[in-house]
Amino acid sequence: MPPSPSPRPHGTEPPIRDRGDACPGALRLHSAADGHLARVRLPAGDLTVRQAEALADAADRLGDGHLSLTSRGNAELRGLPDGCGAQLAALLRDAGLLPSERHERIRNILASPLAGLDRHTPADVRLWARDLDQLLCASNSTTALSGRFLFVLDDGRGDVATLGGDVSLVAEGGWGLSGSGCPDGAGGSALLRVGDDPAALRIAGPDVPRAALAAAEAFLAAAEASGSGAWRVRELPDGYGLTARVVAERLHAAGMGAAYLAGAPGEAAQVATASAPYTAPAPYADSSAPGVIEGADGERALSVLAPLGRLSVAQWRLLTGVADADGVGALRLTPWRGIVIPGLSADTADARLRELSDAGLITGPDSPWHHIGACTGRPGCAKSRTDVRADATASVRAGTPVPVPVDGPVPVPCPGDAPGPDDGPVPVPGPGEGVPSLAPGEPRPDNHALRHLPVYWSGCERRCGHPHGAWVDVLATADGYRVAVVRPETPPAAPPAPATPASATSRTS
């Protein structure tokens, strides 16, 4: 069974949405304190060199000279001036980054970044991502999806399966690989999950893109019937929740087989209480770690991370140049705010990695910047209490990425909750200052575990862009930075599944 996604916090009521989501896009820009912001969706994080050059040109000519990487493998441009929308759209359209303007905000597809690249690779689910993107852009109904609805395609190593997908598919074994390293389409299967339902459906590999689309259409039907205006599967109210059984009926009606599999007892709890970031199971490469990835036939891929998720145009053009001169003319953005460059030779990989390190990119897991993140902060975000990026940079350079003693755990609201007041600049406290005490009897976090957790600096209670799972929360308050460990709640055990209906098991793979 694939790992269960993190559920909605226990006891919380789903929100009632009386408007559409405000997520920015490439055409619908967001007005920020530092100018307008554009978010360019990149399904599976895929970019050709030409497309990457177009983004660099847009950042250079129209933006602030930087590109930001998001936790969904997308790219953002900041500091855009008034009236630049048409020029930006033309740049992106000419590069093939706007295949359907009606769908540009709903092309949210995450896929395992190293699929097809490492030596022991599972199935290349990235082909599923491309087919799914084409189906989304050809569908009239999918324009009703929110800009937050997320598809996740995991190649079996478990790297993206727990990143909060509304529709998640995890490849199973049994794939035949063609000479190109891609699925031959004749075998294999995937396990499909929706929202928090611990149950899964086994889908034949060739049906995966259509099954993902059908699951999204089932969500839209449930959202309309509920009258809740839900943006995501977890927001559907009781009585209208989307489950694997509901999706199975829709798949059967469309002529697709789906074998129902009840959730493994305790499995969801095991994932939700994990105290360390994702690590790849042997023998797969860790797609969140920077370095050289060894592939078949002597090929190499480079995996690097952007410090605090931000790259200068010069750094971006260097990456693009390596992909063009030494790779296969392509780049992949990752949900860990990184870039993968496939197709290098063993002779050139190490030298190019050193060049990227010299340019300020994170190229090894021993970098002090590894696992350090931050929201936009001031001056880009008016809601932030301080320039958290400057403070995080100063702390990393001082050798103290966690600036004060750590307490925890603490609850974290869902993104979109009302922020705290704008209290002005935040002082970086000294040891022991600005940190709440532990509750009586509450255990102090294990220091060994803390060294392996992501650290995320936030300028307000929204904590925009924070990691999934367990992480160290460095939150700006009026009195300094409050530091605590955030751990997801343990979800309830899955109820026993009733007998599988015949309609849900008409075909297995």
Q: CA–CA distance from 401 to each of 113, 192, 271, 371, 453 (Å)?
A: 27, 38, 26, 10, 12
Residue 20: pLDDT band with limits 50, 70, 90: confident
Supply the DSSP symbol for 177: B
pLDDT tens-digit profile of 209-244?
Answer: 999 999 999 999 999 999 999 999 999 999 999 999
Return d(Cα 424, Cα 165) in angstroms, integer: 36
Return d(Cα 109, Cα 151) in angstroms, integer: 5
Q: Among 192-206, 287-301, 444-458, 471-485, which is the least confidently predicted range?
A: 444-458
The three-state (H, E, C) secondary structure of 322-375, written as one string? HHHHCCCCEEEEECCCEEEEEEEEHHHHHHHHHHHHHCCCECCCCCCCCCEEEC
pLDDT tens-digit profile of 310-366?
Answer: 999 999 999 999 999 999 999 999 999 999 999 999 999 999 999 999 999 999 999
Inter-helix orientation angle 126-138/208-226, to 10°: 50
Q: Exposed, middle or buried: residue 476 (CB in 10 Å: 0-12, 13-18, 19+)? A: buried
Q: What percent of the chain has pLDDT over 70?
A: 76
Return d(Cα 368, Cα 58) in angstroms, integer: 31
Beta-bridge mates of residue 476: 481
Token digits of residue 103: 């769908």
pLDDT at 404: 61
pLDDT at 488: 73
Return d(Cα 484, Cα 257) in angstroms, integer: 46
Smallest CA-to-CA distance from 290 within 319, 268, 259 is with 319
Measured in degrees and rounded to the nearest 5, phi and psi for residue 151 equal: -100, 140
What's the pTM? 0.84
pLDDT tens-digit profile of 393-446?
Answer: 999 999 888 876 655 444 444 333 333 333 333 444 333 333 333 333 444 445
pLDDT at 447: 52
Calculated CA dihedral for residues 156, 490, 235, 18, nearest 10 degrees? -130
Supply the DSSP symbol for 395: H
Cis check: omega of the bond before 409, within 30 degrees of 0: yes
What number is the average pLDDT over the span 386-394?
A: 95
Return d(Cα 434, Cα 403) in angstroms, integer: 11
Return d(Cα 315, Cα 313) in angstroms, integer: 5
Alpha carbon 361 to chain centroid, angstroms: 20
**In angstroms, how far is the first alpha carbon of the chain from the final one?**
15
What's the order of all strands across the beta sheet hosting 46-48? Answer: 46-48, 330-334, 338-345, 299-305, 291-294
Return d(Cα 226, Cα 239) in angstroms, integer: 8
pLDDT at 442: 41
pLDDT of 196 over the 60 cut: yes
Spatial contact of 331 and 378, defined as CB atoms under 8 Å apart: no
pLDDT tens-digit profile of 437-481?
Answer: 333 344 444 555 566 789 999 999 999 999 888 889 999 998 889
Return d(Cα 461, Cα 474) in angstroms, integer: 10
Strands (E), 6-149: 30-32, 35-40, 46-48, 66-69, 75-80, 109-111
Token digits of residue 123: 């199935």
* Count of other CB atoms within 10 angstroms of residue 247: 29
Supply the DSSP symbol for 495: P
Return d(Cα 375, Cα 310) in angstroms, integer: 11
The secondary structure element, H or E, covering residue 389 is helix 388-397
pLDDT of 19 over the 90 cut: no
Q: CA–CA distance from 236 to each of 68, 148, 221 (Å)?
A: 31, 14, 11
The three-state (H, E, C) secondary structure of 139-162, written as one string? CCHHHHCCCCCCEEEECCCCCCCC
Token digits of residue 165: 């997908």
Question: For 120-157, b where at least 16 C-beta lie within 10 A, e where not — what string?
Answer: ebbbbbbbbbebbbebbbebeebebbbbbbbbbbbbbb
Residue with tokens 């994990």: 274
Query: Which residue did the predictor score with more confidence, 178 or 264?
Result: 264
pLDDT at 469: 84
Residue 282: pLDDT band with limits 50, 70, 90: low
Provide the CB-side half-sphere exposure for 466 (13 A, CA). 29
Spatial contact of 299 and 176, defined as CB atoms under 8 Å apart: no
